Chain A
């Protein structure tokens, strides 16, 4: 079983839709979770990070962690064509300083 699993997509939605991106993880000891956005031919850009469980909101983006289900989500409200990118979830293994990434979900927002 992979440590982090993420549906590769692609996911196509109309402009203005609410987008839900998800990852599952296997190690219940993980506590620090991140979401990155990556445009084609660019490095991943940090969007949000959360510690432990709960929600965190930043503008149109909400990150949610459900530790009981080992499930993390990123919600994008009022999606825009400029949100079209690959979204990567990541988890910090604090014991080793290593970051474990999902394979990324490709999102396309249609105008």
Chain B
């Protein structure tokens, strides 16, 4: 069966510091991968998605970036965090290829910027 791991679960960072959040999927090859941010009462905001190891699409201009160093690994980064980067960050995956497949989420990282 497939599993998704996301870490760390909680992170407190000062303004201006760098960020690296990791997400790894096990049990499937070449998954579609997604990063979301969830603000209280505002739903899920898609940040990045990748439908192949060489394809990463950005949805929202910001000081965040994403990379996919391996087939099943997705990393969210920032060189300098802003106060507005606080939130709940979720990684998700879906089965690759065409067809209709649901999306599966990790347990998220709660990021607080001080």
Contact = CB atoms under 8 A, between A and B. Distances in A.
A102 B44 CA distance: 8
B76 to A, nearest CB: 15
Interface residues of A, number: 24
Contacts, number: 55
Contacts of B51: 97
User: Majority SS of interface residues in chain B?
Assistant: strand
A99 B90 contact: no
User: Majority SS of interface residues in chain A?
Assistant: strand
A25 B96 CA distance: 25
23 contacts: A34-B102, A34-B103, A43-B105, A43-B107, A43-B108, A46-B102, A46-B103, A46-B104, A46-B105, A49-B100, A49-B102, A51-B100, A90-B103, A92-B103, A94-B98, A97-B32, A98-B46, A99-B46, A99-B103, A101-B43, A101-B44, A103-B43, A104-B43
